[in-house]
Amino acid sequence: MFIIGGIQKTTLTDFPQKVAAIVFTQGCNFRCGYCHNPELLNFTQNSNDNAEDFFKFLQTRKGKLDGVVITGGEPTLQTGLYDFIKKIKLLGFAVKLDTNGTNPQILEKLINDNLLDYTAMDIKAPLEKYSQITKTDINAENIIKSIDLIMKSGVDYEFRTTVLKSQLTFDDFEKIGQMINGAKRYYLQKFVPSKICDQTLMNEKTYSNEEFVQICANLKKYIDFVSYR
């Protein structure tokens, strides 16, 4: 099974230093209120499994695209993810995977078989706040294992956190810094109220630029590169 919920044919910003296409997968095991792809959270009866059409498109983009970003939803819920990525790699394209880190076994297999060129993992919160923000029970060991796998993989990567001021305090960022201590790259992402899962968050705020600068400065004792966007 590999259910594609949407395709963006070109992006210049989602795969560092590469021109890429984006594949959005259906289904997610989290229910973060700020999720900006709420239409992808559930597997629906109208799911369009158009992987074959995507590969036909990809054939026409050789020499024009450098890679493919696979995001969601949560791509590791797709049982056909491994074969889908392998086919992309055989066509000569680089692959970036976006993940929430809940399936380290799948991540480990993709890394070990050299099928990933870049990994982006969402760090939702300190572990004690994960369930509150994702609105689901989580296996904390899987989150920590995924962080460890990514940092030791030899594959380029980033960690990132979407920031609502009401959800994450300065102390929470300190705990996240400790959780990903030694990481190469970490981005704080400003919450933008637009098309989101929980409409009650539409009036929520993120931190000011000055506050983000301070948070980033505090985190640099743990992480090589910290920025906000």
Q: Please spell the DSSP secondary structure of 87-113, one letter per residue.
A: HHHHTT-EEEEEE-SS-HHHHHHHHHT
Retrieve residue 159's tokens: 């960690």
Q: How confident is the model at residue 162 (pLDDT cuts 50, 70, 90)?
A: very high
The amino acid sitting at 165 is K
User: What's the total number of domains in the chain?
Assistant: 1
152-183: b (≥16 Cβ within 10 Å) or e: ebebbbbbbbbbbeebbeeebbbebbebbeeb
Q: How confident is the model at residue 108 (pLDDT cuts 50, 70, 90)?
A: very high
Q: What is the span of the domain harbouring residue 215?
A: 4-228
Considering the chain, what is the average pLDDT of its residues? 95
Average pLDDT over every residue of 16-28: 97
In CATH, what number is assigned to the domain containing residue 219?
Answer: 3.20.20.70
Can you give the pTM of this predicted structure? 0.96
Identify whether the C-beta of residue 137 lies closer than 8 Å to the C-beta of residue 176. Answer: no
Average pLDDT over every residue of 39-68: 86
